[in-house]
Amino acid sequence: MNKQVNSLETIAKKSVLSVSSIITYLIIILVDGLLGYVTIRLASMGYIPLTIVFSIIIILITISFLIPKLHHLRWMAVGLSAWLLFSIFPILFTIYNAFTNYGDGHLITKDQAVEQITRQTFLPETGKAYEWIAYKSSENDYLLWVKDSDGKTFIARPIDSTADEKIFDVVTGENGIGEIDENGAPISIEGYTLLNKILAATDQNLTNIKFGDPENTIQVRSPSEAAELVPKYDYNPDDGVFTDLETGKQYFDIEGTWTARDGTELIPGYNTVIGFDNFVEFATSPGLRGPLVTIVTWNFIFATMSLFLTFALGLLIAVIYGDPNFKGKKILRSLLIIPYTIPSLITILIWRGMLNPDLGVVNRVIESIFGISPDWFNVASLARIAILIVNTWLGYPYWMLVTSGALQSIPSDIYEAAEVDGATGLQRFWRITLPLLLVSVGPLMIASFIFNFNNFNLIYAFINGGPPIPTATTTAGYTDIIISYVYNLAFASGRGVQYGYASAISVVLFILIAVMSLIQFRFTNMWEEVGENV
């Protein structure tokens, strides 16, 4: 802040300070102050990466206004800030995650994991034992009265109870305790009923409840005995080894997971960098590689076929109805463009209803004509065909519009010359129209290919990648493409989220997309135009 004030002063000395520049500087100070506050708060909460991003944003905004040479940055400071925060940073974050084991079981830091594991307890077969009696309220709350071998008695609430006092002495009149019998146990507790031996022995919940507080936890072991729980694992901070006090087994810290010699693992592990393991994994693990090969193959088939079908149908329409003599051209175009005017998610959901194998209109019609009812949702090849049909419906109007525009720009004298040379209509199409067209719409074809390559909405909203691939160890289906597979890995419940692994595939996918985009930019001469001195 001091620096700004200083430079403000120098500016003031050098030139006459106009009103507008005072306002500008006031705004910068205000914005910097606000962002600075957010940054400090972020730092204090331990969000270090985000703190760095915000610091960069503050520097960017400040220098763009204070250094005259960087005045062009003023025009894009806000845009670039949003871009850094929500485009660049997420990509870097994803790349970093690709080299970690971030995911279910590895979401927390090492200290948190050690603390969680050392908190785990077990019920020893020997050790301090108690006599016990249980009480139960109508809301299924329990109280446990216990008496140790020295004759000391107390009552414990469940460890997850919301009451402050988890353990209290047996005193008539306190905590609703009524008369006390000769053994020292309350005969009644207000709001609770005493469970007799038979009720207590048959109560399903009782043996699972931990009573008391973390320092002194008691669990029912048998109808006659309750016992104090003891810590299960002992942690040695020097070599990072956990020892199971019950079995004596040792667990070694291997890349964020404490693993025993026999392969058993402790839960939770912690989030740490594991190098190229995620990348190696999908090359070597059959359960992962299997679906990935299927998915990548289908991804390319899907994108290619989608492009081909939409382009072919769109071009066909453009050629047949491009004829200026054809009446009704305008209304036809307006009708045929309709699929394109509906937000794609809505059309996908409509098709999902229409293609419903049991109830949808398509199958009702097919069944009444051919007597068969194709199962679009559960048979892999049919599901893929259905997706291509839907995508053709979604995409052909685009190519109809684009190609009819491009066809008009082909000079007519070329056709006249060809006609003079005796070329037939088909020859003209294959030899002249198509090659010229491909040159002019080539870049758009690449763009469309990339778009379909990542057409998550269609795959996800139609049948969520299904039908499932049975051999896969992760959530994967026959119509899944890479991007929907990654999404499932990161978010699908059931088989656990695996951000690290999902990020590794994302990185590979990004490289693929980047290469395709670069090819597209080359074709479009975008790079050259960027450099052009217009």
Partner 1 sequence: MSKKNKTSKQLSMTQSKRLGTILRWLLAVVLVVFSVFPVLWIVSASLDPVNNLATQKLIPTNAGFENFRELVNNPIFPFFTWLWNSIKVSTITTLLTLSLTTMAAYAFSRFRFKGRQGLLKTILLVQSFPNLLAIVALFSISKQIGDVFEALGLNTHAGLILVYLGGAMGMNIWLMKGYMDTIPRDIDESAHVDGASDWQVFSRLILPLLRPILTVIGILSFIGTYGEFIIARTLLTKRELQTVMVGLQIYTSGQYTQNWGVFAAGALIAALPIMIIYLLLQDLIVGGLTQGAVKG
CA dihedral 446→447→451→452, nearest 10 degrees, is -30
Residue holding tokens 């899944």?
480
Q: Can you give 382-412 as a three-state secondary structure string?
A: HHHHHHHHHHHHHHHHHHHHHHHHHHHCCCH
Q: Which is nearer to partner 1, 167 or 436 (CB)?
A: 436
Check residue 118 for interaction with partner 1 (CB under 8 A). Answer: no
Of 505, 507, 518, 462, which Cα lies nearest the Cα of 295? 505
Q: Rounded to the nearest whole angstrom, what is the least distance from the CB of residue 308 to partner 1 in the complex?
A: 17
Other Cβ atoms closer than 10 A to 351? 23
| Range 220-249, binding partner 1 (CB under 8 A) | none
d(CA 506, CA 488): 12
| Range 309-368, binding partner 1 (CB under 8 A) | 317, 320-321, 326, 328, 332, 334-347, 349-354, 356, 358-361
> Contact 170/148 with Cβ under 8 angstroms?
no
In the list 114, 218, 490, 504, the residue contacting partner 1 (rule: CB under 8 A) is 490
Amino acid at 162: T
Q: What separation in angstroms does the CA of 355 have from each of 250, 336, 339? A: 56, 21, 17
Q: Looking at residue 30, what DSSP letter applies? A: H
Q: Which is nearer to partner 1, 233 or 351 (CB)?
A: 351
Q: Which is nearer to partner 1, 359 or 369 (CB)?
A: 359
Check residue 137 for interaction with partner 1 (CB under 8 A). Answer: no
> Contact 388/309 with Cβ under 8 angstroms?
yes
Check residue 518 for interaction with partner 1 (CB under 8 A). Answer: yes
Q: Rounded to the nearest whole angstrom, what is the least distance from the CB of residue 506 to partner 1 in the complex?
A: 4
Q: Which is nearer to partner 1, 48 or 301 (CB)?
A: 48
Q: Which is nearer to partner 1, 182 or 532 (CB)?
A: 532
Contact flags string 72-91 toward partner 1, x per CB under 8 A: xxxxx-xxx-xx-xxxxxxx
Check residue 510 for interaction with partner 1 (CB under 8 A). Answer: yes
| Range 38-67, binding partner 1 (CB under 8 A) | 38, 41-42, 45, 47, 50
Contact flags string 402-441 toward partner 1, x per CB under 8 A: x--xx-----------------------------------
Total residues in contact with partner 1, by rule CB under 8 A: 102
Check residue 499 for interaction with partner 1 (CB under 8 A). Answer: yes
CA 206 to chain centre: 39
Phi, psi of 49 (to 5 degrees): -55, -45
Q: Which is nearer to partner 1, 187 or 346 (CB)?
A: 346
- Token readout for 434 is 């198509």
